[in-house]
Amino acid sequence: MDDKQYRELLVKRFTDRTVTDEELEVFIKLINEGKLDTQLLEAMNKDMGITKADEVNFLPPVKTYKLWPRLAGAAAIMFLLGIGVFYTLNRQKHKIITEDILPFTEMAILKSGGRTILLDSIKSGKIFQTNITKSHGEQLVYDKFFEPSGVMYDTIQIPRGGRPYTVTLSDGSKVILNAATTLRYPQRFSKNRHEQVELISGEIYVEVVHNAEAPLQVKTSGQVITDIGTIFNIAAYTDEHDTRTTLVEGLAKINAAGKEKILSPGKQAIFTGSNLTVETANVSQATAWKDGLFRFNGERIEVVMRQLARWYNIEVNYEGKLTDEVFYARVNRKRSIREVLNILERSQKVKFKVEGRRVTIWTRP
């Protein structure tokens, strides 16, 4: 016998469980050195009855495409688009509606005490072995009187294409989560509410139950927002260039990049990762999502598409040069993607094709 056959024998004795300690040591040594790859493959092929013909099923994986191409220079030709009217008028003109994607195709996940719970699959009522009650319309409520043995954190994850959830924390503060959002928070706040709520990524709308003695803190990457009697919206998507905190009511303090700013209603803090500035906000635009609307107010196409990508869980592919047009629209988020794209196509500046989960966009000359 030569080495190759010994190696075969070694693999056989490993699977038969007849190996001695010494053989096992050699087996581990050789597998780490990559010297048993062929033998393992052959042994498994034989065991499982895999033939050459089966390998044909295995073609190289499909190429993936870059999501966001470079930005083109800005210009501002504007198009005012109405709400649904255009769409209805226009519907008949579209000869081929190839494929379509509806929102809410993906499932929200809650991680609590080492368990992973598929929120969309469970019934209303108290969630088994937790202090959480689920109710109609994607609502979760944390029990005020629950006494956990230590500080325990839960994480809720709304995937791209997932349905927004409203979570009422144990202090009564209400958080609405957009699609593509991950939030971590304590199962129960202590009296001084020093436990942080962390927006890991995504967008939330928060209505804080104010307590001057114990302000609520929300953390995003590199930034801490402290409530001073507040309703605010934070958009901290990883695929956007900045994090935007918009104040609806009350006051809030923002600490980031070594600076501290106080936000008053109607103002928006923009944190770029290295700098923090405050501007006047378009509050209804910033919070339109929680009312079930897309509101585009002079947005470039790539900004529009990033929102659609998160909501419909699509991949966006740009053919040719990006258009410099900006878009104005108000669209119900319950619509299918084709309906939304049709509205954008009314501008006569862009055209879309939907294939599976990929949307390709062309600029019209």
Residues that bind another protein (CB under 8 A): 1, 3, 6, 9, 13-26, 28-32, 37, 40-41, 44-45, 47-51, 53-59, 61-62, 107, 109, 114-118, 121-123, 127-129, 356-357
Query: Which one, 56 or 212, has the nearer CB to another protein?
Result: 56
Strands 276-280 and 267-271, by their bridges, are antiparallel
Considering beta carbons, is residue 10 or 286 the nearer one to another protein? 10
CA distance 284 to 294: 11
CB of 42 to another protein, least distance (A): 11
CB of 141 to another protein, least distance (A): 17
Closest contact distance (angstroms) between CB of 135 and another protein is: 16
**Pair 308, 340: CB distance under 8 Å:** yes
- Smallest separation (angstroms) from another protein to the CB of 321: 29
**Residue type, position 146, single letter:** F
Judged by CB, which is closer to another protein: 95, or 123?
A: 123
Report the residue number, 55 or 260, with the smaller CB distance to another protein: 55
Give the shortest CB-240-to-another protein separation in angstroms: 25
- Of 25 and 291, nearer to another protein (C-beta) is 25
Distance CA 151, CA 141 (A): 18
Based on CB atoms, which residue is closest to another protein, 59 or 96?
A: 59
CB of 159 to another protein, least distance (A): 10
Nearest approach in angstroms of CB 124 to another protein is 12
Q: Give the separation between CA 311 and CA 39, rounded to whole angstroms.
A: 47
User: 326-332 and 293-300: which strand pairing?
Assistant: antiparallel
Least separation in angstroms between residue 125's CB and another protein is 10
Angle between helices 37-48 and 3-16 (to 10 degrees): 50
**Upper half-sphere CA count for residue 183 (Cβ side, 13 Å):** 30
Single out the residue of 116, 158, 204, 166 nearest to residue 130, CA to CA: 116
- Specify the residue, 1 or 74, whose C-beta has the smaller distance to another protein: 1
Would you say the C-alpha torsion 170, 173, 178, 180 has a positive or negative sign? negative
Cβ burial of 13 (10 Å; 0-12, 13-18, 19+) is middle
Write the CB contacts of 162 (distance below 8 Å, at least 6 apart in sequence).
104, 106, 107, 108, 179, 180
Closer of 356 and 365 to another protein (Cβ): 356
Asked if residue 159 lies in contact with residue 108, where contact means CB atoms within 8 angstroms, the answer is yes
Determine contact, residues 224/256, Cβ cutoff 8 Å: yes
